[in-house]
């Protein structure tokens, strides 16, 4: 046990869905628990083992002064730090507030907004500390998460594609929702990884995996 790499899973501002993706792995989770020492993962266990940690998975965006200070402590204790999910890699749904004055929201939602301590913006983890790899998705794809962890544990390059979702869609032989239904689909400029989940359900992609490498957004919008 003492020689196994130590894994820690951290939560910041998020819905916990990405951590759940890891718990959802079920059979593979046993193999993972055999390969690493799960040292900190409060969604799975109350047991806490002190750092430093070989691999930290970080879910959630940075939205409060406390989180901004805490992520620096997590980084200092982590040999490799991976951000998982749209919140951690891009700011998430909560980053919608970045387009407005956050005080308008706190006074609309809370009876005593003066007790709310928040940053002006919800930002990705990489805006605060060095990040070794960003895994996209809302939530992340469990297969990609396992592939990433396996690659890091064995010291090889992770096989995570950065091409467009259209490639996955076509590989599955799905009818293009843009062509067949005339619906605006963000697939052409969205990074693959979900297995074309929404087109498989006859729905357009709304881009939860974020932009692919070098997206031609203007061309996609103007057609």
* Binding of ligand SF4 by 139 (CB under 6 A): yes
Binding mask 91-110 for ligand SF4 (x = CB under 6 A): -xx-----------------
Nearer to ligand SF4, 36 or 193 (CB): 193
Residue 183: HSE in the Cβ half-sphere, 13 Å Cα cutoff: 15
x/- mask, ligand SF4, residues 3-22, rule CB under 6 A, reads -----------xx-xx----
190, 161 contact by CB (below 8 A)? no
Q: CA–CA distance from 205 to each of 77, 123, 139, 175 (Å)?
A: 37, 23, 14, 13
Residues facing 80 on adjacent strands: 55
Q: Which two tokens stand for residue 132?
A: 């070794």
206 contributes a contact to ligand SF4 by CB under 6 A: yes
Q: Does 86 bind ligand SF4 (CB under 6 A)?
A: yes
Q: Could you tell me which stretch among 80-88, 109-117, 126-134, 156-164 binds ligand SF4 (CB under 6 A)?
A: 80-88
Give the three-class secondary structure for 194.
Answer: coil
Q: Which of residues 14 and 123 has its CB atom nearest to ligand SF4 in the complex?
A: 14
The sheet carrying 78-84 orders its strands as 37-41, 6-11, 53-59, 78-84, 133-135
* Least separation in angstroms between CB 140 and ligand SF4: 7
- In degrees and rounded to multiples of 5, residue 50 shows phi and psi of -65, 150
Counting residues that bind ligand SF4 (by CB under 6 A) gives 23
Residues that bind ligand SF4 (CB under 6 A): 14-15, 17-18, 59, 85-87, 92-93, 138-139, 165, 190, 194, 196-198, 205-209
């Amino acid at each position: 046990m003492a020689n196994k790499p130590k894994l820690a899973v951290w939560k910041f501002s998020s819905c916990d869905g990405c951590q759940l993706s890891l718990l959802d792995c079920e059979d593979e989770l046993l193999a993972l628990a055999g390969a690493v020492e799960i040292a900190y993962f409060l969604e799975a266990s109350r047991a806490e083992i002190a750092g430093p940690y070989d691999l930290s998975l970080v879910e959630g965006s940075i939205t409060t002064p406390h989180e901004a200070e805490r992520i620096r402590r997590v980084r200092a204790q982590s040999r490799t730090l991976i951000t998982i999910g749209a919140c951690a890699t891009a700011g998430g749904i909560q980053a919608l507030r970045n387009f407005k004055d956050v005080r308008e929201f706190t006074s609309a939602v809370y009876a005593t907004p003066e007790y709310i301590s928040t940053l002006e913006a919800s930002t990705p983890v990489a805006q605060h500390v060095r990040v070794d790899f960003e895994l996209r998705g809302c939530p992340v794809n469990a297969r990609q998460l396992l592939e990433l962890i396996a690659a890091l544990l064995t010291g090889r390059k992770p096989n995570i594609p950065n091409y467009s979702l259209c490639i996955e869609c076509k590989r599955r032989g799905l009818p293009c929702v843009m062509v067949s239904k005339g619906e605006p689909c963000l697939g052409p400029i969205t990074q693959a990884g979900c297995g074309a989940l929404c087109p498989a359900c006859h729905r357009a992609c709304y881009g939860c995996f974020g932009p692919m490498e070098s997206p031609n957004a203007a061309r996609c919008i103007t057609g």
